[in-house]
């Protein structure tokens, strides 16, 4: 297994220290083909780019949830992610909408994120039963051992529910809680495993039965749906420049050299170029998997797009004490190191807990959505005169040219409630909820 990436420098994601191939804790969302299966379109457990939202088996959320806070028009769904929290009995999905109208770009509220939660009673009961069976068996036969390390997003993984994976994966996990129960017999263990398989099948069936047909959501504007698959982020080692033994380095002639270093030709360019180190690190990190549309790293550190106000709010520089001036000797002070903090992010308005980084949208998502939108556009040349006039009239009513729409952000960061609360107006826990989370956008300059 590749080595883990050590984050010695929070704001830079330690790219400068990478000397060999490493696998990070970040999951990357990549496009994986058009969603043509109707069951998948209705299944909330199928993460996707674009399309119409599918919801947990409950009352549909209010349609204005998708409205842009600037133009008050319904926005297109950018991504939908199935992402239950570890060891949680709640089914969970995350939805992110974005407005593509030109007048709404660079405006707060043109990208919005919501999370949906619903208590899964059957799932929670089976979790406790399997937990008891596993723990009792381990207690009777073997001493406690650390849980094996594996990929939590593999459908064959024995770990707990994780982003983009079905929550029933938890039934294969080894738990540390202790129960005073006799060790399960072979028949009991077989029954538990059978119930686990049945639970997963019934979960998928229940989700596939949910539909938004006949509601306002079904008529909302949308991009063609695309599967969103996940891969672990892997940073490949830097290639080493190899010079053939037969190669010879030639010095320039006297006229060319003129007694100066030949690198002088680059100095003027470098001195006049305003380099953004943050953007440079961003592009370098993303280049390892250029097709990524989303980065998921719950309670991790976001990858900043540029050194703007958003970057300054998340990665502040600590105050530096002035150098001593009473001594005759100079003292070299180390450069102040930036540190990541979510103290500037508003707390959850419901439970007042801190919010943590969960995921961010990447620039390639705009390219994917733009390409799919072009495929969906009507070929005006093939329309009749009457149809063509209607298309033009609709465009004029929107006050836009046909090709003036487009998103301009560099990255959109989503910060969600640390406790993933599901509380009612009275502050008590409820079985399901629909909550808006906080989005920070770094715009493409």
- Give the predicted TM-score (pTM) of the model: 0.70
Polymer length of the chain: 445
CA distance 299 to 341: 11
For residue range 307-326, what is the model confidence (pLDDT) as tens digits? Answer: 999 999 999 887 766 666 66
Residue 124: per-residue pLDDT: 82
Cα–chain center distance at 215: 28
Q: Residue 356's pLDDT is what?
A: 97
* Residue the block writes with tokens 């770094």: 442
Q: Given this model, what pLDDT does residue 403 score?
A: 44
25: enclosing H helix or E strand: strand 22-34
Low-confidence ranges of the chain (pLDDT < 50): 1-19, 147-162, 165-182, 198-199, 202, 204-206, 208-209, 256-273, 378, 398-403
Distance CA 429, CA 423 (A): 4
Q: Rounded distance, CA 190 to CA 133, Å?
A: 11
The domain segmentation of the chain, as residue ranges, is 25-133+273-316+328-442
Q: Which residues, in sequence order, are bridge partners of residue 29?
A: 230, 294
Q: Tell me, what's the pLDDT at 67?
A: 97
Q: DSSP class of residue 335?
A: P
Whole-angstrom distance, CA of residue 275 vs CA of residue 249: 31
How much is the pLDDT for 243? Answer: 64
Residues 6+ apart with CB under 8 A from 113: 94, 95, 96, 97, 414, 416, 436, 437, 438, 439
Please report the pLDDT score of residue 104 as a whole number: 95
| Residue 190 Cα distances to 126, 137, 228, angstroms | 14, 13, 34
| Sequence-ordered list of residues with C-beta below 8 angstroms from that of 310, at least 6 positions apart, any chain | 304, 413, 440, 441, 442
**Is 388 exposed, middle or buried (CB count within 10 Å of its CB: 0-12, 13-18, 19+)?**
middle
pLDDT score, position 327: 58
């Amino acid at each position: 297994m590749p080595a883990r990436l050590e984050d010695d420098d929070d704001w830079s994601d330690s790219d400068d220290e990478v000397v060999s191939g490493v696998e990070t804790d970040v999951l990357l969302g990549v496009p994986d083909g058009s969603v043509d299966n109707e069951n998948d379109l209705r299944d909330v457990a199928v993460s996707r780019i674009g399309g119409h939202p599918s919801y947990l088996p409950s009352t549909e959320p209010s349609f204005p949830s998708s409205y842009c806070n600037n133009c008050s028009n319904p926005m297109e769904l950018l991504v939908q992610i199935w992402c239950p929290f570890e060891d949680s009995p709640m089914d969970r999905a995350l939805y992110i909408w974005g407005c593509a109208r030109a007048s709404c770009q660079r405006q707060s509220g043109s990208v919005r994120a919501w999370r949906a939660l619903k208590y899964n009673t059957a799932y929670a009961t089976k979790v406790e039963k399997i937990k008891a069976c596993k723990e009792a068996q381990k207690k009777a036969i073997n001493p406690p051992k650390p849980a094996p390390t594996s990929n939590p997003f593999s459908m064959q993984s024995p770990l707990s529910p994780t982003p983009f994976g079905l929550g029933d994966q938890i039934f294969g996990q080894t738990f540390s809680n202790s129960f005073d129960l006799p060790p399960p017999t072979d028949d009991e263990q077989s029954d538990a495993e059978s119930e686990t398989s049945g639970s997963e099948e019934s979960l998928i069936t229940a989700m596939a039965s949910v539909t938004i047909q006949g509601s306002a959501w079904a008529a909302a504007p949308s991009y063609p749906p695309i599967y969103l698959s996940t891969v672990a982020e892997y940073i490949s080692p830097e290639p080493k420049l190899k010079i053939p033994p037969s190669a010879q380095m030639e010095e320039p002639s006297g006229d060319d050299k003129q007694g100066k270093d030949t690198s002088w030709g680059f100095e003027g360019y470098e001195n006049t170029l305003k380099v953004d180190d943050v953007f440079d690190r961003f592009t370098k990190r993303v280049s390892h998997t250029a097709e990524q549309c989303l980065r998921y790293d719950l309670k991790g550190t976001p990858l900043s797009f540029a050194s703007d106000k958003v970057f300054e709010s998340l990665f502040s520089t600590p105050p530096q004490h002035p150098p001593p001036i009473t001594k005759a000797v100079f003292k070299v002070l180390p450069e102040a190191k930036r540190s990541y903090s979510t103290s500037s992010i508003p707390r959850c308005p419901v439970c007042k807990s801190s919010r943590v980084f969960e995921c961010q949208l990447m620039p390639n998502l705009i390219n994917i959505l733009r390409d799919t939108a072009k495929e969906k556009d009507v070929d005006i040349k093939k329309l009749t005169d009457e149809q063509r006039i209607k298309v033009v009239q609709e465009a004029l009513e929107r006050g836009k040219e046909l090709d003036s729409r487009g998103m301009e952000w560099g990255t959109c960061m989503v910060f969600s409630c640390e406790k993933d609360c599901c509380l009612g107006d009275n502050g008590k826990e409820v079985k399901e909820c629909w909550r808006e989370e906080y989005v920070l956008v770094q715009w493409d300059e």
